[in-house]
Amino acid sequence: MTTQIAEQAEKSFSLVRNPSLWPATATDQLVNSLVTLSLYLGFHYTEELFEEFRPFYWYVAERTTVGRRLEVLSWLAERVEGFEAGLSSLLPFLCADEEPAVISTAALHLALLVPQRKGDPLTGPKDVLGFLEGSDTDNTRVGILQGVLLIGDRSILPLLDRCWEGLGREGRRCLAHSWSGFVYASTIEFLLGWLERTDDEADYGSIAAALVLCTVRQKNSPFVLDVERKFPANGDGDAPPVRFLNQWTFEEYGKIIAPRLRAIGEAETGEKVIPGVLEAWGII
């Protein structure tokens, strides 16, 4: 398979190295070259090769929708999980895309697929968070943080302590509203910890809105879920990739978080937003 990819990559790199050809190239052909080169990077990654590929990725991103890039990313992630492609195949989506939705999905996949080192189950999340150091935009930082947060496993929370401090106001709002389709207890725990630790009450509005939105989403996701992830998801052993530890109705979970929310509300000094959260969660 690697020989076939190498042969296809040679043709694709001839396109990459001739930007004047890009505008006249059909979008489907551009995407096919993107897939081929991402697979090639997975087997033969070097920083120089990636930097040569980056401008081409940017151009393809301009020609495609977020949805299409997510489809490509999902396909590549399946190949990586099945050991048919290398982890670096996902790096263009993490390090070259500019949409948080794409970046966060790449971050989530990588965090769940990086093999453990020295028996550390959180090797993947830690490696992904390591990319924060080289990121130069809020979109990239938010996407990386969202990907790790949306793992949904409480074990990652210490890695995210005060992570919002490296973001601007809009970045903080986007992080607070991270959403994967499920309401995880770990996400609510993260938001409550943020309210308790932040030195800037201007964050309260975004966090409060996110907590209220969780209760709105119960129409599609009727339970607050506590899950345990297998790291890496495709590692040895019979454990499932995700194990459900517990679930609560929103009324039940509201009773669990009520003491912390009341304490936060009592300490609130600016415009009062926590009462709205209490009401949304049915806390009297």
- The answer as to whether 33 is a domain residue is no
pLDDT reading at 260 higher than 90: yes
- The answer as to whether 58 is a domain residue is no
- The answer as to whether 141 is a domain residue is no
> Rounded CA gap, 56 and 47, in Å?
15
- The answer as to whether 146 is a domain residue is no
- The answer as to whether 56 is a domain residue is no
**What value does the mean pLDDT of the chain take?**
95
- pLDDT tens for 11-62 read 888 999 999 999 999 999 999 999 999 999 999 999 999 999 999 999 999 9
% the chain with pLDDT above 90: 89
> Rounded CA gap, 115 and 135, in Å?
23
% the chain with pLDDT above 70: 99
Whether the predicted model's global pTM rises above the 0.85 cut: yes
- The answer as to whether 198 is a domain residue is yes
Q: Which residues pair with 227 in a beta bridge?
A: 153, 244
pLDDT reading at 3 higher than 80: no
Q: Tokens for 205, please give them.
A: 């509005």
> Rounded CA gap, 67 and 73, in Å?
10
Range of the domain at 162: 152-284
- The answer as to whether 65 is a domain residue is no
> Rounded CA gap, 190 and 188, in Å?
5
Number of domains in the chain: 1
- pLDDT tens for 18-31 read 999 999 999 999 99
Angle, alpha carbons 267-270-273 (nearest 5°): 80
pLDDT reading at 75 higher than 90: yes
Q: Is the dihedral of CA 38, 44, 49, 50 positive or negative?
A: positive
The answer, yes or no, to whether the previous bond of 232 is cis (omega within 30 of 0) is yes
- The answer as to whether 108 is a domain residue is no
